[in-house]
Amino acid sequence: MLHSRRWLTALLLILVPAAAPAQSGAGTNTTSGIAWQRTAADAFAVQKATGLPLLIVVNMDGEVFNDQFATQVYKDPAFIELTRGYVCVVCSPDEHVDRDYDAAGNRVECRRFPGCTCSEHKRIEPILYEKFFAGKRVAPRHIGVSADGTVLFDRFLDTSKQAAIDAIRKHRGTPKADTTALPASVAELFASRDAAARRALEERFRAADAAAKKAILEAAAAATNEPFDLLRMALRSDDEGVVLAAANALARVAAPDSTIDVEDALARADDPATTAALAAALARIGANDPAVARLALHLGPRDRKVAAAAAFTGEWRERSFDPDDRASIEAELDRCETVLKTNAGDQETRLRLATAQAAFADVLFRDRARGVEFWLEDASRNAQQIRSAPLRADVHGLLAHLHWMQGDPAAAEAAMRVAAAERASGRRPDPWLASHALSVQLVLGTAPVLADQESAKTKDLRATIDLSLAILDVFAARGGGTEPAFVAATRLLDLAGLRREARTRLAQAVRAFPGSERLHVAWRNRLLVDLDAESMRRQYAKFVEEAKDRPTAEWFAGAAAIAAGERHTDDKRAALARAAYDEAIARFEKSRDGNADYTDSANHCIVAALAGRAHLRFGAGDAEGAVADLVRAFELRPESLDETDGLQRKPRGIAGRIEQALRDAGRPELADRLKPLRP
Q: Shortest CA distance to 259 belongs to which of 234, 231, 301?
A: 231
What is the distance between the alpha carbons of residues 581 and 77, in angstroms, rounded to a whole number?
A: 43
As a whole-number percent, the residues of the chain with pLDDT over 90 amount to 85
Provide CB contacts within 8 A for 114, sequence distance 6+.
22, 31, 33
What is the distance between the alpha carbons of residues 190 and 399, in angstroms, rounded to a whole number?
A: 63
278 vs 259, 267, 295, 581, CA distance in Å? 10, 11, 11, 37
Q: Shortest CA distance to 450 belongs to which of 409, 491, 408?
A: 491
Residue type, 178: D
Contact 497, 295 (CB under 8 A): yes
User: What confidence tier does 204 reach under pLDDT thresholds 50, 70, 90?
Assistant: very high
Q: For 452-512, where are the alpha helices, taking DSSP H only? A: 453-456, 462-478, 483-495, 499-512
- Using the predicted structure, report yes or no on whether residue 382 has a pLDDT greater than 90: yes
pLDDT at 270: 87
The total of other beta-carbon atoms located within 10 Å of residue 543's CB is 20
CA 661, chain centre distance (Å): 36
Q: What is the DSSP string of 86-109?
A: SEEEEE----SSS-SB-TTS-B--
* Bond from prior residue into 140 cis (ω within 30 degrees of 0): yes
- Mean pLDDT, residues 488-492: 97
pLDDT at 31: 57
Provide CB contacts within 8 A for 588, sequence distance 6+.
554, 555, 558, 602, 603, 605, 606, 609
User: What confidence tier does 7 reach under pLDDT thresholds 50, 70, 90?
Assistant: very low
User: What confidence tier does 627 reach under pLDDT thresholds 50, 70, 90?
Assistant: very high
Helix (H, G, I), strand (E, B) or coil at 659: helix
What is the distance between the alpha carbons of residues 586 and 583, in angstroms, rounded to a whole number?
A: 5
Contact 116, 110 (CB under 8 A): yes
With vertex at residue 261, the alpha carbon angle to CA 259 and CA 262, rounded to the nearest 5 degrees, is 65
User: What confidence tier does 179 reach under pLDDT thresholds 50, 70, 90?
Assistant: low
Q: Which residues of 337-370 are buried (b: 16+ CB within 10 A; e: fewer)?
A: eebbeeeeeeeebbbbbbbbbbbbbbbbeeeeee
Contact 604, 643 (CB under 8 A): yes
Q: Shortest CA distance to 590 belongs to which of 633, 540, 566, 556?
A: 556
Q: What is the CA radius of gyration of the chain?
A: 31
Q: What is the pLDDT of residues 70-106, one digit of tens each?
A: 999 999 999 999 999 999 999 999 999 988 999 889 9
User: What confidence tier does 5 reach under pLDDT thresholds 50, 70, 90?
Assistant: very low
What is the distance between the alpha carbons of residues 537 and 286, in angstroms, rounded to a whole number?
A: 36
pLDDT at 19: 37
- Using the predicted structure, report yes or no on whether residue 11 has a pLDDT greater than 60: no
SS (H, E, C) 497-510: CCHHHHHHHHHHHH
Provide CB contacts within 8 A for 339, sequence distance 6+.
346, 349
pLDDT at 644: 95
Burial (0-12, 13-18, 19+ Cβ within 10 Å), 656: middle
Q: What is the pLDDT of residues 319-378, one digit of tens each?
A: 999 999 999 999 999 999 999 999 999 999 999 999 999 999 999 999 999 999 999 999
Q: What is the pLDDT of residues 218-253, one digit of tens each?
A: 999 999 999 999 999 999 998 999 999 999 999 999
What is the distance between the alpha carbons of residues 595 and 590, in angstroms, rounded to a whole number?
A: 9
Give all domains of the chain, ordered by start, each with its CATH number. 1-22+532-679 (1.25.40), 40-171 (3.40.30.10), 186-298 (no CATH)
- Using the predicted structure, report yes or no on whether residue 26 has a pLDDT greater than 70: no
Between the CA atoms of 123, 261, 38 and 16, what dihedral angle is there, to the nearest 10 degrees? -70
- Using the predicted structure, report yes or no on whether residue 437 has a pLDDT greater than 70: yes
- Mean pLDDT, residues 406-421: 94
- Using the predicted structure, report yes or no on whether residue 29 has a pLDDT greater than 60: no
- Mean pLDDT, residues 103-128: 95
- Using the predicted structure, report yes or no on whether residue 14 has a pLDDT greater than 60: no
The total of other beta-carbon atoms located within 10 Å of residue 662's CB is 21
- Using the predicted structure, report yes or no on whether residue 549 has a pLDDT greater than 90: yes
Contact 504, 520 (CB under 8 A): no
204 vs 215, 373, 677, CA distance in Å? 11, 66, 47
User: What confidence tier does 155 reach under pLDDT thresholds 50, 70, 90?
Assistant: very high
pLDDT at 177: 63
Measured in residues, the chain has a length of 679
CA end-to-end distance (rounded Å), the chain: 30
- Mean pLDDT, residues 290-297: 88
Q: Shortest CA distance to 643 belongs to which of 599, 601, 586?
A: 601
Contact 254, 281 (CB under 8 A): yes
pTM: 0.86
User: What confidence tier does 10 reach under pLDDT thresholds 50, 70, 90?
Assistant: very low
Burial (0-12, 13-18, 19+ Cβ within 10 Å), 174: exposed
- Mean pLDDT, residues 300-317: 77
pLDDT at 422: 84
Contact 314, 428 (CB under 8 A): yes
Q: Shortest CA distance to 213 belongs to which of 99, 100, 105?
A: 105
What is the distance between the alpha carbons of residues 613 and 619, in angstroms, rounded to a whole number?
A: 10
Question: Cα dihedral sign for 199, 112, 46, 218?
Answer: negative
